[in-house]
Structure 1
Amino acid sequence: MKLDVICLGELLIDFVSTAKDVELIDSPGFVKAPGGAPANVAAGVVKLGGTAGFIGKVGDDPFGHYLKRVLDELTVDTNCLALDREARTTLSFVAQKPDGDRDCMFYRHPGADMLLSAADIDEAYMSQGAIFHYGSISLGSPSSKEATLQALAYAREHGLLISYDPNLRMDLWPDQEYARKEINEGFGYADIVKISEEEFRFITGCSTVEECGRYIMERGPKLVIVTLGKDGCYYTNGELSGYIEGFKAEVVETTGAGDAFVAAVLQGLAERKKAGQPLFDEQLPQLLQFANAAASLATTRIGAIPSLPTREEALARLG
């Protein structure tokens, strides 16, 4: 089975506040929603018309079985999703504060995703992908980091395009310096990096998006994209660079927006890769505009995976 995108990392339950513009301490209740950045990307690729597989580990508990069912129903391939009896499925509680920032707290001591190991990575499975996508959270525990590095080695050996999302979640790291070191290490393995406006200053030490783009490109990637929320995104491949305008939206909750963006970019690049077309040429702005449309739609619904748009919805958003 050939797959457009193979994603590795966390799959968890987001409990999203039923009230808007409040912090967690004042949230009156929560709605259960499936999430986890790499899993969101896999789901987003499928909803946009591509094929995707997910490598990860959840607890052998009701939440883990629920998450597997969600991916199965979306037709995300879960042959490499393991159910673990040693740890429970990771939970996250999320609220959107009055200033628009997220208030987020994880229950993960440890979460099953932290126990993914190198032995869980199947080389034959990895060889079936066109693109491999991972995030920084799987670099944060020894076992899952070893698994990620093993997957990266197989991806490089079999010619997959490699995508990385730093996805900063400070409360999952023991301290800031360790987080910065490990997240920066991730740049060196990637062909494509998507980083957000909220993340890049802490991670890179840069003060502008242009400086950030140069900093990351110097570490090996061929394309860097900085997402700018409602203002769209900035991109550079070292030769071409520019800003792509965003779309206005009635924002309900922003959890899945960045992952919807990444899914749209990777699904488009997978199509080009399979067709033998150039990946990072003058057609990039058109693809990034589509990704901005997908991201804007994801902010209009509650939850990460439930908010991800279909291809038809994203195309309609483009007008």
Structure 2
Amino acid sequence: MRRVFTIGETFYDITFREKVPASGTPGGAMLNTAVSLARCGIDVTLISELSADHLGSTINDFLMSNGVNTENIYRYVGKTPLALAFLDEMNDAEYVLYETYPHERLQILNPVLRKGDIILFGSLMAVSEQVREKLLDILKNARDAGAIILYDPNLRESLLNNIGTIRNMVQENISLAHVVRGSHREFEIIFAAESVDEVYERVKESGCYCLIYTKENRGVWLKAGENETYYPVSMVETVSTIGAGDSFNAGLIYGLLALDNDSFFTECINETNWNSIIETAISFAAHVCTQNENYISKDFSNSFNRRMA
């Protein structure tokens, strides 16, 4: 079975509605994607770091109970990071993060990667100078092994004060990826680019030729070589948008795993394949918007679990 590795920071999410705590759940972009994939029966490993405190153990137990491999999670002495998500009247979230990390970060052995494995990385850990060396080592080993690498910047406006340094790391991250997937808001922050064509030019300049560009309920754009396709999305009654992009990534990876080829070449993925992949990603994201969890539900995942088997 082909394997998936997701690399990123982990939080415990506390969601507020009308200034009142409404729910608490393990979170972090790459954790959310990993849980959705594991619920579909995919062999997925989360590469991250967690405190050895009670809350960290709660998150670790949650991951294991959902089938996520936790062998590459670094447990440190300290406090588990918190992410407070304040939902507005449209159920979109504004985040406040509380995080204190040790001096030594991500002290793990590099996983042994092989051809056909899929690596997803992004968010804050992907632009952290403290873990940069370790992250690049893993990604370069993945490229050498023939793994497929997906990058989701997943950045917030709070990083604008340091955007110069961050932009350099983002461009290097793009150069190591086979697929870049991001929202219009993130690319406005990174490149000050407001159209998919502008973003694609910047992505190509950095060395990647496959972009998947999402714009909330306005649709999804795929630009991969000669393939340029727009996919509309259906309106759903939104409960929360937290985890929507992460679940889109899970559906994207699920669709790539369903292909016969274990290498990523845009010319090997025809229009029919891309349509199936993107439609699956959209369905994952739409489902998560209708519930409070950050990941697809076990009921929703059952049909995909059977399909992959």
| TM-score between the two structures when normalised by the length of structure 2 | 0.88
Counterpart CA distance in 2 for 1:122 and 1:196 is 30
Structure 2: runs of 5+ lacking an equivalent: none
Is the 8 Å Cα contact of residues 252 and 301 (structure 1) preserved in structure 2?
Answer: yes
Match of 1:81 in 2: 73
When residues 30 and 57 of structure 1 are mapped into structure 2, their CA distance, relative to the original with a 3 A threshold, is same
Is the 8 Å Cα contact of residues 196 and 228 (structure 1) preserved in structure 2?
Answer: yes
Match of 2:149 in 1: 162
Match of 1:122 in 2: 110
Match of 1:296 in 2: 286
When residues 106 and 160 of structure 1 are mapped into structure 2, their CA distance, relative to the original with a 3 A threshold, is same
Summarize deviations over 1:217-243 as a string: whole Å, max 9, x none: 332223210112122311110210111
In the alignment, structure 1 residue 92 sits paired with structure 2 residue 83: yes
Alignment of 1:1-319 (within 5 A): 2-17=1-16, 19=17, 22=18, 27-85=19-77, 87-98=78-89, 101-110=92-101, 115-117=104-106, 119-124=107-112, 126-127=113-114, 130-171=117-158, 175-272=162-259, 280-282=269-271, 283-305=273-295, 310-312=300-302
Counterpart CA distance in 2 for 1:222 and 1:88 is 40
Deviation at 1:197, TM superposition (A): 1.7
When residues 144 and 309 of structure 1 are mapped into structure 2, their CA distance, relative to the original with a 3 A threshold, is farther
Helix, strand or coil: the match of 2:62? Answer: helix
Counterpart CA distance in 2 for 1:161 and 1:79 is 21
Summarize deviations over 1:96-130 as a string: whole Å, max 9, x none: 223554211000133x6x8533x514242x33861
Structure 1: runs of 5+ lacking an equivalent: none
When residues 267 and 149 of structure 1 are mapped into structure 2, their CA distance, relative to the original with a 3 A threshold, is same
Deviation at 1:202, TM superposition (A): 2.0
Amino acid at match of 2:223: T
Q: How many residues align?
A: 302
Amino acid at match of 1:16: T
Is the 8 Å Cα contact of residues 298 and 308 (structure 1) preserved in structure 2?
Answer: no
Counterpart CA distance in 2 for 1:182 and 1:37 is 18
Summarize deviations over 1:69-118 as a string: whole Å, max 9, x none: 11111111111112111x321110001223554211000133x6x8533x
When residues 167 and 145 of structure 1 are mapped into structure 2, their CA distance, relative to the original with a 3 A threshold, is same
Summarize deviations over 1:8-60 as a string: whole Å, max 9, x none: 1112111011x2xx4xxxx1224111111111111122223322111111000
| TM-score between the two structures when normalised by the length of structure 1 | 0.86
Deviation at 1:181, TM superposition (A): 3.0
CA RMSD of aligned residues (A): 2.5
Is the 8 Å Cα contact of residues 5 and 267 (structure 1) preserved in structure 2?
Answer: no
